[in-house]
Structure 1
Amino acid sequence: MNGQWPPTIRSVEAFTVPVSVKSVWIFLELSFADGTAGWGEATLAGAEEAVLAEIGHAGTLLSGRSFAGAGEAVAVLRMAHASEARVTVMRAVEQAFLDALARRAGMPLAALLGGPERPTVPVYANINRGISDRSPAGFAARAREVVTEEGYKAVKIAPFDGLDWARVDHATGTRLLRAGIERIAAVREAIGPELALLVDCHSRLSPVMARTVLREAEASGLYWLEEPLAEDAFEAEIGRALRSFANDRGIRIAGGENLTTMAEARQFLARGICDAILPDIRWSGIRTGFAMLELAAASGVGVSLHNPVGPVLDRISVQVAAALPSLLILERQVRESPLFDEIRGGPQPLNDGAIVLDATPGFGPAPDRAALERYTRQGFSRPASLAGIGGSGADA
């Protein structure tokens, strides 16, 4: 590295991009006095004002100070019982700090993390938030598009709109469950038998419902069933029995997207309810998330990353995934908005269903700052409620 180390943080700036009624992306730029800058993402559906307030507070606490590393900077923001908004901003500051370090050193973020372990990263397309026609035919059409037009070899859907086992009556629950199973079958028919199909349940099912899905979707050959149960609502024995039921049908159970600490990760893995773990960098952070996944791999559990939001976190997640010693497949949010490619500086073509690792410094090309400034000036608004809007779950 050239110049004095550690450099002084000059500013912490927020940018907002209103994507749809469902989504507002929030990006954070961490600028240093030596001219280096790094980027992070703090998107948190439904809590945009709180996140922006926390970024403003972070700027007050960090600006004009020097830190030896990302950990020292994040420690300034740490507090007991931190809100989700504070945690998200802490993680975004870590992302931006590490991105800036990598850019300053002229190396990809994956190299700063000790990798890369692989030149390409296999990915699947999360198409849920971009589907406006929520019929089985609508799901099938969007799945067919991303496979034939963009080259994805794996697709994930969240087909159980409106279902919450604890809040619906039996007749309604049965109807909504059936609708979800029909969507699964339609997508499988649309993409053919060879490509991977993943299903996210967003913790909406009861154990009986989950077994019904696994039984009736067995012919669809699911790659995994993600978060069928609320992981803290049932005893571990129930989760392990469901995992065994799924494995007997050649299906993995995946989960763990809300893990924030290594203690939580150890407890989660000890429960033995999942075949694959996918922490979200917004909650775990890069360094802790990396450690979680190393522990999971050493425990015989498959590893992935939860990555359902905007283009900055997408590029960061690709770099982290490339550096992991073990990886199943990485999530990408696909076709929610054309702004995704505009902000990240163009599309990233796939090679046999995988992203070729970008060798440029940091996580890759920096976001289009002029576009970010333009969208931030536009402001954003959200409806009072997302109830009844398909695919509008916070992390759909």
Structure 2
Amino acid sequence: MFLNSARIYAFESGGIRPVILRLETDEGIVGLGEAAVAYGVGASAATAMLKELAARFLTGRIDPFRIEAITASIRDFSFWAKGGGPILNAALSAIEQALVDIKARSLNVPAYDLLGGRLRDDLRAYANGWYFGCASDAELPAAAEKAVADGYDGLKFYPFATILPDGRLRHPALRGAADRDLVRRGIARVAAVRDAVGPDVELMLDLSAGLTPSDTIRFCRAIEPYEIAFVEEPTEPDDLGALQLISRSISQPIAVGERLYGRQGFRDLLESRSVAIIQPDLGNTGGIWEGRKIAAMAEAYGLKVQPHICASSLSTAIGAHFSAAIPNFYVQEHFPYWDRTLGHVEVLKNPLETRVANGRIPIDDAPGYGVLLDEERLSDFVFAEIGLR
């Protein structure tokens, strides 16, 4: 068996820009992967990078079972992969994920069996995106109550983000250094949401490295009465000095990881002992197998793992297989309300999202990632077709 073709999809979907890879073998077995730079800026660059990597490293009757050899070749001979950032690593992630999917489907086993087998039958999930559609801070408490009523006992949100008229979020500029009221507004938002959902719902706060370390510390100390489960990215994730300063100064657990790439990107973070939870994004850290290696490193340091997930429903399925197979799984990030966003495109025929109940994501035993791409719906979004013989 060898790789026969690659197809890359790129499109707009409800405020994000998913980039999806479809690999097919000469035997007709299809594997799927996603380059998860769907938010922010970078999807177009990742799409072009994915096309270049596929043409350079997947051609010439490549055996898809040799996943480690293929990814090592990309790291060794693309030059930019060593010390590389999100664009190359996102493209590499999509390739690695698709190869894992092909191998699992060929063996007629779920992807989690290639990671050591599943440890659990479903995953507890917290809701992100529950604020979609809110036009002001005043609407946040009711939206939070609705998510809890839908079965979620954990909610994440962004206390410093500004809600725009169309419901999108804008994070603080210039570390909020000149905005005297930014910390006060963040405290008020946390207090309002906590009051709405009561004491038994976990609240997670994504700070998005939005403030200076001193203001972050001041904010975290002020919200101690609200029992926050974790604060995410309280500073830039590669600023270990600031992370250590903040971790020594606040009581909340710290979570970091969506902007770190590969095992090497997490090594110094783990050795700093400044975080409690790591959040590798399987669509930009090197893939699902690379994520499994990172989780094993974190386990040696006694850390929890909560994969970062913010892309299409394909990323939900891939993340579920990852979390099913790691001992130190904490909770799954989940966006249950993408369909509230204007222009949302569902990429799968059978997304897990339709089967989430009471805040629990089911673990399937179907081969591979257990999902089918809706190729008819995506037919207008083909960026490139690449022959790989």
Q: TM-score, normalised by structure 2?
A: 0.85
Residue pair 2:6, 2:21 contacting (<8 A) in 1 also: yes
TM-aligned CA distance change 1:324 to 1:38, over 3 Å: same
Alignment of 1:361 onto 2:367? yes
1: CA distance between counterparts of 2:292 and 2:248? 27
Q: Give the structure 1 partner of residue 191 of structure 2.
A: 185
Q: Give the structure 2 partner of residue 246 of structure 1.
A: 250
Residue pair 1:246, 1:253 contacting (<8 A) in 2 also: no
* Aligned-partner SS, 2:89: helix
Alignment of 1:80 onto 2:85? no
Residue range with higher mean Cα deviation, 136-145 or 352-361:
136-145
Residue pair 2:176, 2:212 contacting (<8 A) in 1 also: no
1: CA distance between counterparts of 2:197 and 2:381? 35
What root-mean-square deviation, in Å, do the aligned CA atoms of Structure 1 and Structure 2 show?
2.3
TM-aligned CA distance change 1:220 to 1:341, over 3 Å: farther
2: CA distance between counterparts of 1:225 and 1:294? 23
Alignment of 1:66 onto 2:62? yes
Q: CA deviation at 1:35?
A: 0.8
Q: CA deviation at 1:344?
A: 5.1
- The one-letter code matched in structure 2 to 1:154 is G
5+ long unaligned stretches in structure 1: 1-6, 378-396
Cα shift readout 1:259-293 (whole Å, capped 9, x = no counterpart): 22323322111111111111111224222221111
Select 2:208's aligned residue among 169, 186, 202: 202
- The one-letter code matched in structure 2 to 1:27 is I
Residue pair 1:146, 1:152 contacting (<8 A) in 2 also: yes
* Aligned-partner SS, 1:29: strand
If asked which structure has higher relative contact order (CA below 8 Å, sep 6+), I would say: 2
Cα shift readout 1:159-188 (whole Å, capped 9, x = no counterpart): 212565745443x1x222222222222222
2: CA distance between counterparts of 1:165 and 1:27? 31
Residue pair 2:175, 2:210 contacting (<8 A) in 1 also: no
Q: Give the structure 2 partner of residue 345 of structure 1.
A: 350
Q: Percent identity among equivalent residues?
A: 27
Aligned residues: 361
After TM superposition, list the pairs within 5 Å mapping 1:229-240 onto structure 2: 229-233=235-239, 235=241, 238-240=242-244
Select 2:25's aligned residue among 15, 19, 32: 32
Residue range with higher mean Cα deviation, 212-221 or 269-278:
212-221
Cα shift readout 1:24-58 (whole Å, capped 9, x = no counterpart): 11111011010101000113242232222223223
Cα shift readout 1:210-238 (whole Å, capped 9, x = no counterpart): 22222222222111011111233462xx5
Q: CA deviation at 1:17?
A: 3.3
5+ long unaligned stretches in structure 2: 162-169, 384-389
Q: Give the structure 2 partner of residue 380 of structure 1.
A: none
Q: Give the structure 2 partner of residue 387 of structure 1.
A: none
2: CA distance between counterparts of 1:367 and 1:76? 28
2: CA distance between counterparts of 1:232 and 1:342? 33
Residue pair 2:31, 2:99 contacting (<8 A) in 1 also: yes
Q: TM-score, normalised by structure 1?
A: 0.84
Residue pair 1:13, 1:59 contacting (<8 A) in 2 also: no
Q: CA deviation at 1:352?
A: 4.2
